[in-house]
Structure 1
Amino acid sequence: MDWQTWHDAYDLPGSWLARRLRAVQERVGAALDACAPGPVKAISLCAGQGRDVLGVLAGHPRRADVRARLVELDPGNAAIARRAAAAAGLDQVEVVTADAARTDCYEGMAPADLVLACGLFGNLTDEDVRRTVGYCARLCATGGTVIWTRHRTPPDLVPLICEWFGERGFELSWLSDPEAGFGVGAHRFTGRPEPLVPGERMFTFGP
């Protein structure tokens, strides 16, 4: 898969990726609005070109409060994200070229106030999706938000994903309409974060 070319559909007005991006960005903005005054930490797993975060943070009133780490394995996409962050003057955004499945990537940032797992769940086995939801209880701070995406083609896993988040102490804040052609969810963490142990693998990316 050429993941840089895959991102081209974001620039096509009306494409499902463009519409999904708008939905995710709206949730990112709402999550930042809801954060308490003071420093805010955000992390993005398999961040791609960083559009989910950078497209909001550049113009958000809380931009100076937010320290973010975007983790992306593809060097080309990571480079695009770095250039976009620099162009927007977002010096507090760190783009790391690494395997986002490794817990080591989030040392010093977890638990975070905002966790993004967008473009991820559709590329994992059901078992790994559930496992990653469990790790979100380690990545996310109490009161923080996890935003995630998943396609809704049969078999539709979205209802189960919502159940799995509920089992780990998350409350559903928002879910896209089933007819939207994609799934976007936002869950608020009401539990206490578990320790994030370095050296663990959360998932294996791929069909």
Structure 2
Amino acid sequence: MDWHAWHDAYDLPDSGLARRLRVVQERTQVALDGSPPGPLTVISLCAGQGRDLLPVLAGHPRRDDVRARLVELDPRNATIAQDMVTASGMDRVEVMTADAALTDHYRGMAPAGIVLACGIFGNITDEDVERTIGYCSQLCATGGTVIWTRHRSAPDRIPLICDWFEERGFERQWLSDPEVGFGVGVHRFTGRPDPLAEGERMFTFIGRQALQAGPAGNGISGEGL
């Protein structure tokens, strides 16, 4: 999969990715608006070109309160994100070209007030989805927000994902309507964050096509949403 070209669909206003992006940006705006006053840390896993966060943060009244780290493996996408950061003068935002699955890349940032986990759950196995949600209790501060996405194609794992979050001390704040064709969820962490584990892998990013090609009935399918 060419993950740089994959982003082209964001520029098609009626595409599923563009519609999902608008919802994620709205939820990010709400999370920024609702965060307590003072310094605020934001982390974005598999951040791509930074579209979930950067356009919202650039014009937000809280931008100077925010210290953010976006982690993205594809250097072309990371460069686009960095160019947006530079053009907007957001000198407290860091773009890291690295594997977002590795816990070490969040050292010094976790636990964060806002965690973006968008475009991941549709590209990894169910086991890794649950495993990553477990790590969210290390990445997210008490009272912090996780914004996540997952496609609604069969098997629809959205209810299960909500259960996994809620079993780990997260409260459901918002969930997109099933009729829109994609899933965007917002969960607030009510527990106490565990220390960030060192040197661990949260997930293996497989990708939509490989998941779809997996053995029938194994519960691994995805559309990258």
TM-score tier, shorter chain, comes to over 0.9
Q: Report the equivalent of 1:72.
A: 72
TM-score w.r.t. structure 1 length? 0.99
TM-superposed CA distance for 1:192, in Å, is: 0.3
**CA–CA distance in structure 2, aligned partners of residues 26 and 174 of structure 1:** 12
**CA–CA distance in structure 2, aligned partners of residues 158 and 72 of structure 1:** 24
Q: Report the equivalent of 1:3.
A: 3
Which digits, 9 at most, give the CA deviation of each residue in 1:116-140, with x for residues without a partner? 0000000000000000000000000
Q: Report the equivalent of 2:85.
A: 85
**CA–CA distance in structure 1, aligned partners of residues 120 and 84 of structure 2:** 21
Which digits, 9 at most, give the CA deviation of each residue in 1:111-163, with x for residues without a partner? 00000000000000000000000000000000000000000000000000000
Q: Any residues of structure 2 matched to 1:143-182 within 5 Å, and which?
A: 143-182=143-182
Q: Report the equivalent of 2:218.
A: none
* Aligned AA (1:10): Y
Q: Report the equivalent of 2:54.
A: 54
Q: Any residues of structure 2 matched to 1:12-31 within 5 Å, and which?
A: 12-31=12-31
* Aligned AA (1:174): W
SS at 2:122 equivalent: helix
**CA–CA distance in structure 1, aligned partners of residues 86 and 179 of structure 2:** 37
Structure 1 runs (4+) deviating above 6 angstroms are none
TM-superposed CA distance for 1:15, in Å, is: 1.0
**CA–CA distance in structure 1, aligned partners of residues 72 and 27 of structure 2:** 21
**CA–CA distance in structure 2, aligned partners of residues 30 and 144 of structure 1:** 12
Q: Report the equivalent of 1:140.
A: 140
TM-superposed CA distance for 1:12, in Å, is: 0.6
**CA–CA distance in structure 1, aligned partners of residues 46 and 64 of structure 2:** 23
SS at 2:174 equivalent: strand
SS at 1:51 equivalent: coil
Which digits, 9 at most, give the CA deviation of each residue in 1:3-29, with x for residues without a partner? 111001101111111110010001101
Structure 1: gaps of 5 or more residues: none
TM-superposed CA distance for 1:91, in Å, is: 1.0
TM-score w.r.t. structure 2 length? 0.91
**CA–CA distance in structure 2, aligned partners of residues 102 and 77 of structure 1:** 18
**CA–CA distance in structure 2, aligned partners of residues 37 and 54 of structure 1:** 20
SS at 2:5 equivalent: helix
TM-superposed CA distance for 1:88, in Å, is: 1.1
SS at 1:17 equivalent: helix
**CA–CA distance in structure 1, aligned partners of residues 53 and 13 of structure 2:** 19
Q: How many residue pairs align between the two structures?
A: 207
**CA–CA distance in structure 2, aligned partners of residues 85 and 12 of structure 1:** 23
Give the fraction of aligned pairs with identical amino acids, expressed as a percent: 74
Structure 2: gaps of 5 or more residues: 212-225
**CA–CA distance in structure 2, aligned partners of residues 114 and 22 of structure 1:** 18
